[in-house]
Amino acid sequence: MQRNADRTRSRILEAATDEFAALGIAGARVNRIAEVAGCNKAMLYAYYGNKDQLFDAVFTAYVEAYLDQVGFDADDLPAYAGRVFDYFEEHPHHLRLAVWYRLERPESTRLEAVVAVNASRLAELEKARRAGRVRSDFKPVELLSLVQSIATSWSSMNPEFSAAAPVSRVRRRRAVVAAVAKLLDR
């Protein structure tokens, strides 16, 4: 019985990820998620509570997958930016989840997965800054924000501008890594 429950939870998370990425929290419909997952709404609610709690579960799973694949090294921010670029090129629906999270949850209770990763990265950057390994004219939060913005810049352009962007993924990635390296020049 447990195996079926795990499989059902997994199907619900997969269906919810697609639904939330496409439509956001407000636009997502629990009926559609349950239908795609092959279960009923009552089961979905039993496993995840309400729609907001389901989004939290989806977003937490995304954060964990992102962390596993991207990692973080305060001493090699250009390589980190390249991995962030690669991740979102390969998982554009995860970038959309992150955008929906920022748009629809600006004042909500913070998710522990997000709080923990931010605290860890900022602490690593502060340690590197104090040791003189990264620029000291930027606070860690400023530097991390700039690096992440550069890394996701190609993915978040408006369609009119992106039409002029280099088609080559390799070229776009190279630009991201080079821009972060220049940001770190003293």
Question: pTM (2 decimals)?
Answer: 0.87
Q: What are phi and psi of 123, to 5 degrees?
A: -65, -40
Q: What is the pLDDT of residues 85-134, one digit of tens each?
A: 999 999 999 999 989 988 888 777 778 888 888 999 999 999 999 999 88
Q: What is 56-184's CATH number? A: 1.10.357.10
Range of lowest pLDDT (38-52, 62-76, 147-161): 147-161
User: Which whole-number Å values give the CA distances from 87 to 68, 93, 118, in the listed order?
Assistant: 11, 11, 18
Residue for token pair 């195996």:
3
Instruction: Give the start-to-end residue ranges of the domains of the chain.
Output: 56-184
Q: Which residue has the higher pLDDT, 20 or 136?
A: 20
pLDDT value at 2 more than 60: no
Instruction: Provide DSSP, 94-163.
Output: HHHHHHHHHHH-TTSPPPHHHHHHHHHHHHHHHHHHHTTSS-SSS-HHHHHHHHHHHHTTTTTS-HHHHT
DSSP 167: S
pLDDT value at 19 more than 60: yes
